[in-house]
Structure 1
């Protein structure tokens, strides 16, 4: 008999509690990183010289273009984080997609903000893990 069958269908095992808490934390992290990305985008749009490029890099865009990318992605990530906190059905799938996209964007943005880009990629990996390891939370 598997552990899932032995516990019944309630899904109230210790790993479910951890994963559900991880999902809640993922929603909060998405909102925070979304707001930070919005500020990052505004800074890039308003003032090009706010970011200094660290060495040469194959992928280089105009910083105003990067500002728009971060602004739009930040808005989408923050709204999706809010949807996760509200347990909206669409938010879980969109959250995984946007966290994956954020990893790619931050990798391409490495020469401008290397420490934040690596940290943001790590946060996105956690968000993906938290969103795919739990089933949808239900309210009793």
Structure 2
């Protein structure tokens, strides 16, 4: 097996991994937002003095939009779009920040999505741009 074919397989695997994770995290974000919009009273922790306190509906719409964008970027990445690689890192980073701010409100989902976002960034950034 030549080094070029090994590099191609690694690139294909990491891109597919990132794309599937973006589709999954996009769905998670969308569902999390939907729960906040439909029934914003059932949260794990109540934070009356939290700096980034929005009503549940606002948080819900933020997560719904992020979920849709992440899903679209996942499809772009599956299609092999080079701009999709950059967009994947940007949206995963943005989702990680938003879910970090969301941690006091819903810590379990926040931690899960942050972990998936870190995996997305890792898998997209492990392949050098000159190999794409």
Taking structure 1 as the reference length, the TM-score comes to 0.80
1:81 aligns with 2:78: no
Structure 2: how far apart are the matches of 1:67 and 1:123?
19
Unaligned runs of 5+ in 2: none
**Aligned 1:29-44 pairs, distance under 5 A:** 29-44=21-36
2:57 paired with 1:69: no
Displacement of 1:127 after TM fit? Answer: 0.6
C-alpha separation in 1, matches of 2:92 and 2:27: 14
Which is further off, 92-101 or 19-28? 19-28
Greater RCO, CA 8 A, separation 6+: 2
Give the Cα separation in 2 of the matches to 1:54 and 1:114: 11
Kindly state the Cα deviation for residue 29 of structure 1 after the two structures are TM-superposed.
0.8
Match of 2:115 in 1: 122
Length-normalised TM-score, structure 2: 0.85
Cα displacement (A) at 1:110? 0.3
**Partners of 1:84 and 1:28 in 2: CA distance:** 9
Task: Give the deviation of 1:86 after TM superposition.
Answer: 1.0
2:98 corresponds to which of 90, 101, 105: 105
Structure with the greater alpha carbon radius of gyration: 1
Please list every run of 5 or more consecutive structure 1 residues that lacks an aligned counterpart in the other structure.
1-6
**Residues in 2 aligned to 1:41 and 1:125: alpha-carbon distance in whole angstroms:** 20
Task: Tell me how many residue pairs correspond in the alignment.
Answer: 129
Query: Per-residue deviation at 1:53?
Result: 2.4
